[in-house]
């Protein structure tokens, strides 16, 4: 018998905290069943395997994050770099409210176990490419000095942003523990890098 929608959502939310706390590899089906208050047999009945439950959760979180962040709204801005700063802060505040979703999604995209990487790329590679296309559309408004290749300039900015995403992940074990001083310093550093890219270093 298919799980009722409200039951399925409850199971997903209960299991999310386990994956978020322990990661995919260190999470067992027994731990998931205990958190959801159902038997391991029911976990397998409704989701077939730990891996399918994980991907159901990833999709569940990804849909909520996309709806919550509304990336397309950045196209309403005229200033690419101001939009980048504002969106990055908004994303940080969003994940502060939903730390379990943060842990699950960032593990999936930055430190996924080898057995999941290929499937994650197949499922979400195009979504990530579409996200970059939104930023690239806004970047088209940035006036560049003569001789600067627009695609290369945009790629350089994406490399810089990835650096800060990875820096945040290496610095922060628990997003709940991040204090305001760290947030201020982090965004000051990111904006300094943006300024160097925007205005040049020589």
Does the pLDDT at position 1 exceed 50?
no
Round to whole Å and give the CA distance between 161 and 121: 19
* Geometric angle at alpha carbon 120, from 116 and 125, rounded to 5°: 155
Percent of the chain surpassing pLDDT 90? 44
| pLDDT per residue as tens digits for the range 97-142 | 998 988 898 888 888 888 999 999 888 888 778 888 999 999 999 9
As its CATH architecture, domain 5-54 has Orthogonal Bundle (1.10)
Dig out the tokens for 71 from the structure: 């990336």
Q: Which of 29-43, 142-156, 164-178: highest mean pLDDT?
A: 142-156
| Cβ-contact 45, 36 below 8 angstroms | no
User: Distances from the Cα of 43 to the Cαs of 15, 16, 115, 120, 194, in angstroms?
Assistant: 10, 14, 20, 22, 47
Nearest to 145 by CA among 99, 202, 185: 202
Mean pLDDT, residues 76-86 taken together: 94
The rounded distance, in Å, linking the Cα atoms of 42 and 157 is: 47
């Amino acid at each position: 018998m298919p799980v009722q929608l409200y039951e399925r959502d409850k199971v997903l939310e209960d299991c999310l905290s386990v994956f978020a706390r322990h990661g995919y590899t260190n999470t067992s089906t027994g731990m998931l069943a205990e958190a959801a208050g159902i038997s391991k047999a029911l976990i397998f009945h409704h989701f077939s395997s730990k891996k399918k439950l994980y991907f159901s959760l990833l999709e569940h979180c990804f849909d909520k994050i996309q709806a919550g962040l509304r990336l397309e709204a950045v196209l309403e801005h005229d200033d690419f770099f101001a939009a980048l700063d504002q969106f990055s802060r908004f994303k940080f505040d969003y994940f502060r409210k939903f730390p379990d979703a943060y842990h699950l999604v960032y593990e999936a995209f930055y430190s996924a176990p080898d057995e999941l990487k290929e499937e994650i790329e197949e499922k979400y590679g195009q979504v990530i490419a579409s996200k970059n296309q939104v930023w690239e559309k806004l970047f088209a408004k940035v006036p560049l000095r003569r001789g600067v290749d627009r695609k290369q300039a945009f790629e350089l900015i994406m490399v810089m942003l990835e650096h800060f995403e990875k820096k945040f992940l290496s610095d922060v074990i628990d997003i709940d523990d991040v204090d305001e001083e760290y947030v201020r310093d982090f965004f000051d550093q990111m904006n300094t890098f943006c300024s160097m890219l925007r205005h040049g270093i020589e």
